[in-house]
């Protein structure tokens, strides 16, 4: 990032190659749609370019870039909520069914874990995705989502308990 801020255009490609795959993975877990995830990541790199003057030399890029990306992902959820309200306001309109997230392929167990993850409240899902799937430590997760470490641990605990309850029920149903 320091090289890019200093004017090295090739450094931008290197940054993209390094972070785009993990950002796509994280965002897709949050917004559920591959197309929207790509839009968010595209926006994130544009915002990173615009904000390069704000990047302090020697700072860690990962939390900085993750924060930008998750803020954009949250906007996707807000827009979905506004679209649903607008559709309901039309006279004679029937409640539109929000396009389900593309759960995708994979075996049944994987799909159930994915569905359980996507059923979590957004704040818990963000923390679980960063902590469980991406292996980020709690202090870094706290920096990215903009909460205290304690709040992040509480969200993680609740998220894991909900996943445990959901997936435990699923396994029990399967065994019966």
Partner 1 sequence: MTYDTRDSRAGDLAAAGRLASAGLELDAARNALLADGAPDAAALAGLFARVERDVAAERGARARLRALSASARVAIALAAVVLLVGLAGALGHGPPPTAQAALLMLLPAALLLATTVTALRPLQRPTLPAWRRRLADLVPFTVLLALCFAPDLIAQLRGDITVHAGASEALLGGRSCVVAGAAAATAAFILLRWLDRGTPGSTLAAIGAGALASSLTLWALCPSTAAEHLVVGHYGAALVFGAGALAVSAWLRRRVG
Smallest distance, partner 1 to C-beta of residue 44, A: 8
The binding track of 65-94 with respect to partner 1, each residue x by CB under 8 A or -, is --xx--xx-xx--x----------------
Q: Is 52 exposed, middle or buried (0-12, 13-18, 19+ CB in 10 A)?
A: middle
Smallest distance, partner 1 to C-beta of residue 155, A: 11
Sites for partner 1 among residues 91-130 (CB under 8 A):
104-107, 109-110, 113-114, 117
108 — phi, psi (to 5°)?
Answer: -60, -40
Residue of 37, 19, 40, 26 whose CA lies nearest to 102:
37
Number of other CB atoms surrounding residue 149 within 10 Å? 14
* Residue that is written with structure tokens 């949250």 in the block: 74
Count of residues touching partner 1 (by CB under 8 A): 63
Sites for partner 1 among residues 132-161 (CB under 8 A):
132-138, 140, 145-147, 153, 156-157, 160
């Amino acid at each position: 990032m320091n090289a890019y801020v200093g004017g090295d255009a090739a450094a931008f490609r290197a940054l993209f190659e390094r972070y785009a795959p993990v950002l796509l993975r994280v965002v897709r877990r949050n917004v559920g749609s591959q197309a929207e995830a790509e839009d968010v990541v595209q926006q994130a790199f544009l915002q990173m370019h615009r904000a390069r003057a704000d990047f302090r030399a020697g700072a860690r890029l990962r939390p900085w870039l993750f924060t930008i990306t998750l803020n954009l992902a949250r906007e996707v959820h807000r827009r979905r909520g506004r679209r649903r309200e607008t559709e309901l306001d039309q006279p004679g309109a029937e409640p539109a069914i929000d396009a389900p997230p593309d759960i995708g392929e994979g075996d049944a167990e994987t799909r159930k874990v994915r569905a359980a993850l996507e059923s979590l409240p957004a704040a818990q899902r963000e923390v679980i995705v960063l902590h469980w799937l991406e292996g980020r430590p709690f202090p870094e997760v706290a920096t990215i989502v903009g909460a205290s470490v304690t709040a992040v641990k509480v969200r993680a605990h609740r998220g894991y308990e909900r996943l445990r309850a959901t997936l435990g029920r699923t396994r029990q149903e399967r065994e019966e």
